[in-house]
């Protein structure tokens, strides 16, 4: 069993202040969360920098990704080291994701530029049903959407400042490698969790 936060922004997002090294330092001292997906807005720079900072730690996994604003709404791609070519339409971005074996997550579908119920028209892998910035009502609607579409549910802190890290995360039946995690998510072997919930080992 591993624990992962799938939605984090660094200073490479214009609205965030987290230093990549801060993510690694907090993962190193955290008692059980050792996996983080760095998903800056429309760039992979933060993800790649965080990976470099974590290279010396064998028990920490940084999944590179980005939160891309398409014409239709925002979509998270995990497992990418470059961005798709523009124009960023959902059709083009999803084709890029499939070609690069990326994991696709619909973040906060009922807040901001969320995709809402149009996700049913695309082969998205999971829905973010717990988002650290969304209201309880928006998260509830996202959970209802995941159930209605039969898609796996995941969580992400959507942290933009250090104090917001790990507010929400995932318990995953997987080993500490990207392929195992992606397979587990697609199979629904994830449990979105709040940081206030205690973990028993």
In sequence order, the 6+-apart residues with CB closer than 8 A to the CB of 2 are 34, 35, 171, 172, 174, 175, 176, 181
pLDDT at residue 200 is higher than 60: no
Cα–Cα distance for residue pair 3/34, rounded to 1 Å = 6
**pLDDT tens, residue by residue, 10-64:** 999 999 999 999 999 999 999 999 999 999 999 999 999 999 999 999 999 999 9
Other beta carbons less than 10 A from residue 147's beta carbon: 12
Parse the chain into domains and list their residue ranges: 2-194
- DSSP annotation of 161 reads S
Nearest residue to 123 (alpha-carbon basis) of 91, 86, 99, 154: 91
Q: Which two tokens stand for residue 123?
A: 């082969």
| Structural contact between residues 55 and 28, judged by C-beta atoms closer than 8 angstroms | no
What fold characterizes domain 2-194? TIM Barrel (3.20.20)
| Structural contact between residues 17 and 160, judged by C-beta atoms closer than 8 angstroms | yes
- Portion of the chain with pLDDT greater than 70, in percent: 98
**pLDDT tens, residue by residue, 130-158:** 999 999 999 999 999 999 999 999 999 99
- pTM of the shown model: 0.96
Nearest residue to 13 (alpha-carbon basis) of 57, 49, 61: 49
**pLDDT tens, residue by residue, 64-88:** 999 999 999 999 999 999 999 999 9
pLDDT of amino acid 199: 63
Of the pLDDT bands very low, low, confident and very high (cuts 50, 70, 90), residue 196 is: confident
């Amino acid at each position: 069993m591993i624990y992962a936060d799938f939605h984090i922004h660094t200073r490479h997002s214009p609205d965030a202040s987290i230093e990549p090294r801060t993510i690694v330092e907090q993962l190193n001292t955290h008692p059980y969360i050792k996996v983080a997906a760095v998903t800056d807005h429309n760039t992979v720079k933060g993800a790649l920098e965080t990976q470099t900072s974590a290279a010396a730690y064998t028990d920490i996994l940084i999944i590179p990704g980005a939160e891309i604003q398409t014409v239709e709404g925002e979509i998270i791609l995990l497992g990418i080291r470059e961005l798709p070519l523009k124009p960023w339409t959902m059709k083009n971005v999803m084709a890029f994701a499939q070609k690069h074996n990326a994991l696709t997550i619909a973040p906060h579908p009922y807040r901001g530029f969320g995709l809402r119920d149009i996700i049913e028209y695309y082969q998205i892998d999971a829905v973010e049903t717990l988002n650290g910035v969304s209201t309880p009502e928006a998260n509830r609607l996202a959970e209802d959407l995941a159930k209605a579409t039969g898609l796996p549910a995941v969580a992400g802190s959507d942290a933009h400042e250090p104090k917001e890290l790990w507010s929400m995360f995932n318990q995953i039946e997987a080993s500490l490698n990207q392929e195992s995690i992606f397979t587990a998510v697609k199979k629904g072997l994830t449990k979105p969790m709040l940081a206030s919930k205690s973990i028993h080992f």
